[in-house]
Structure 1
């Protein structure tokens, strides 16, 4: 069966992921991989799209996309429950850092720091809705400028860190992976590869950490000095959860700093770590996430075989070796074209990947995605104490049950839109419209009397009164209606409704 055939509340294990090209790669990057357990939560009011729960987070797919994913069904009673574990089960030899306190792990950097006066440039990267813009504003204050990345209409915001004029932070578009699926993803990785920032500040949503860390692994493969900011840690701890920073730093090999960007907590500590890793060029302590002892041993051998094969080409193209190998296995056309492999090397590359597929039992792209999610699952098992459901999320879920319910969604939508139009055309908008019309009428009479008293030419008089005041004035009277309507629509949009 396929995802489309699941009943609400039922679960299944993914067997195969169909589709092709960048869209299929996008599915894999989102965690839709063979072996993953998925539960159908609900359908949209009109029946499409569907909301799924996978890897501990909610994912929305169109039914047409769900048909491409084959699953083996599980009964609803067999669905895996994520039971919050107690913090006591994760004893640590080191005290757990508080909010804004870095852990104990530091990566060995170069013997000599960058020359004094060198501008430290940072790429601020993260998933959408993880608090990236909030952190950017906290870092730069009002000292920022906005433009577009060359060749694409994707917003680019840059600014100096407050109190550190020698720095420049560029806010990259919110992305979920470094695969060439969207222009935002291409822009982000091209910026890091070709602009050569001295450091990366990777912000992740600590309340949805497993999903966010997938991008972190890809960023680490770029072998650029990097610091990880765990945002919204106040929410995690407020709901009984915890993240063991010391252990996470040991497993990842990069500094990890818990912060709350909205409350400006931990930001100063984050800046200190970012300046340190950039100044001393402390690169990630690991870029290899394969466990040679488990089923990913074949992936490990495949990647290292490719790295030996393309090492010279990657160096010539200015692409980090591990990143190049991973992208070649995924079939990334941009990296493949940039490496300029000979015919013999292409054939050997295909042979190495085919051998891995045979040993692993998965196709190439799915094997890489599974390797990353396997590592993330082990990482989270050792470092994350899951928080209980927050009051905000519970309240949102209850509201959604009404606003997107099977029988209540359409009446609720009709009622909300009727209220918006009533307030616009009969109450708020109408009041402002009457106020503006009264002001225009008063000004028209005053100007008409003034022009008459001054003996202005009749044609010019008619042009001003009949053309400008009566003509343009009648159009201006609609402005309050339009402004009020768009105000309510913006509220509905910002709320996610």
Structure 2
């Protein structure tokens, strides 16, 4: 049985993950790993895609992709009561300058005057662009990454000359599945920024921390910005920031980019870790006691074997070992392993697969999600369901319901076109035509009074004013239409 056949409201355990290469790795990075519980929430109005709940977050998957995910026997999942946490948020900061976890011995200060470059990385829709605007203001430059059509935005942190922040594309993992992920990885490994600002959505932290763990493996000075903390607080939730810092080994700063809360503290921490090159306190997330320590021994064995190659290639050893286990061909080529070393790596991985009972990529994904689950259990106090989410679900029942979605879509688009062509757009077009007509009349009188040649007079009045004016009269209609379409897109409806 496949995930495609699961009924709404039913839960099943993932038994196998199909697909090949980058596509299969993409499934695993999304959390579709053997042993994970997945619940079907609903289908889109046309029956594709489907909305799932897995690892505590919502995931959208196309039916063709769902057909490649094997599942066990479906069942009705019982609601589980959240256990009282028994802990309360303490004073902050914990890590970084002035914090109790700050270790002076880890400092390796950069030379005075060296530019502090930062990579701003995070998942899509986590508030990254809002934070970038708060950090840089109007000091931005928009361009493209070399060789691709992916936008690149650079900016200087406000009131901090000698800094540069690059807004990287929103991605979910460091596996090269899309051009955005490839661009991000190339930038981090080749341009080598002095620090990373990793922004995560605090309301969806289980999904966001997967990328955080991979960024930490790069061993680059890094701060974690918990965005949308205002929403978490307003709905009765909390995150034990100091405890999370202790478990991750990097500064964690609660912020609200939309409200400009915590930005100054974030900048202070980012500048400090970059200037003094304070690297993450941990890059190793495998547990020597987990499933007999099979993956732990595998990773550390490969790290010892490839360490000299990784140093020569300028690739962090832990990151290189993780990617070799996942079967990343680009990293394997960059390391230039000998035939014997290549075979030894493969033997180590095969032994791990036999002991672990999972294939290499699934074992790595399972290890990361197990660590995330442990962090969230220790540090996250779940908020109650927000009023906004309740309201959104009520609207979704109508706007995306099985029988009401298409009539609602026809009604909404009909209203958009009626307002565009008969009300707002038509009124603006008429107003613009009146203005153009008035300007044409003034120009006609001025040219006639000046005794301008008839040919030139006709060119200006008939060619420029009447010709261009007739085209401009359509502009208000087009602007109005795109305005309504952008509203529908920003609201998440389209």
For 1:97, the equivalent position in structure 2 comes to 92
State the alpha-carbon separation in 2 of the partners of residues 112 and 75 from structure 1.
55
Q: Shift in Å at residue 470 of structure 1?
A: 2.9
State the alpha-carbon separation in 1 of the partners of residues 401 and 126 from structure 2.
27
**8 A Cα contact 1:123 1:171, kept in partner:** yes
State the alpha-carbon separation in 2 of the partners of residues 123 and 333 from structure 1.
25
Which sits farther off after the overlay, 430-439 or 451-460?
A: 451-460
For 2:33, the equivalent position in structure 1 comes to 33
State the alpha-carbon separation in 1 of the partners of residues 309 and 406 from structure 2.
57
For 2:11, the equivalent position in structure 1 comes to 11
State the alpha-carbon separation in 2 of the partners of residues 296 and 466 from structure 1.
85
For 1:180, the equivalent position in structure 2 comes to 176
Q: State the SS of the aligned residue for 1:165.
A: coil
Matched, 1:304 2:327: no
| 1:327 alignment partner, one of 306, 323, 336 | 323
TM-score w.r.t. structure 2 length?
A: 0.95
TM-score w.r.t. structure 1 length?
A: 0.94
**8 A Cα contact 1:217 1:372, kept in partner:** yes
Matched, 1:483 2:472: no
For 1:438, the equivalent position in structure 2 comes to 434
State the alpha-carbon separation in 2 of the partners of residues 296 and 52 from structure 1.
32
For 1:70, the equivalent position in structure 2 comes to 70
Matched, 1:207 2:203: yes
Q: State the SS of the aligned residue for 1:208.
A: helix
Q: State the SS of the aligned residue for 2:324.
A: helix
For 2:123, the equivalent position in structure 1 comes to 127
**8 A Cα contact 2:94 2:251, kept in partner:** no
**8 A Cα contact 2:33 2:365, kept in partner:** yes
Relative distance call for 1:420 and 1:285 in structure 2 (3 A) is: same
Q: Shift in Å at residue 281 of structure 1?
A: 1.5
Matches within 5 A, 1:423-434: 423-434=419-430
Q: Shift in Å at residue 328 of structure 1?
A: 0.7
Which sits farther off after the overlay, 126-135 or 322-331?
A: 126-135
The number of equivalent residue pairs is 492
Relative distance call for 1:122 and 1:139 in structure 2 (3 A) is: same
CA-atom RMSD in angstroms: 2.0
For 2:189, the equivalent position in structure 1 comes to 193
Q: Shift in Å at residue 439 of structure 1?
A: 2.2
CA offsets 1:356-397 (integer angstroms, 9 cap, x no match): 111111111111000100111111111111111111111111
State the alpha-carbon separation in 2 of the partners of residues 100 and 114 from structure 1.
20
For 1:284, the equivalent position in structure 2 comes to 280
Relative distance call for 1:246 and 1:104 in structure 2 (3 A) is: farther
For 1:42, the equivalent position in structure 2 comes to 42
State the alpha-carbon separation in 2 of the partners of residues 437 and 247 from structure 1.
65
Q: Shift in Å at residue 449 of structure 1?
A: 4.1
**8 A Cα contact 1:84 1:388, kept in partner:** no
Gaps of 5+ in 1: none
Matched, 1:372 2:368: yes
Q: State the SS of the aligned residue for 1:493.
A: helix
Matched, 1:403 2:394: no
Relative distance call for 1:185 and 1:82 in structure 2 (3 A) is: farther
Q: State the SS of the aligned residue for 2:161.
A: strand
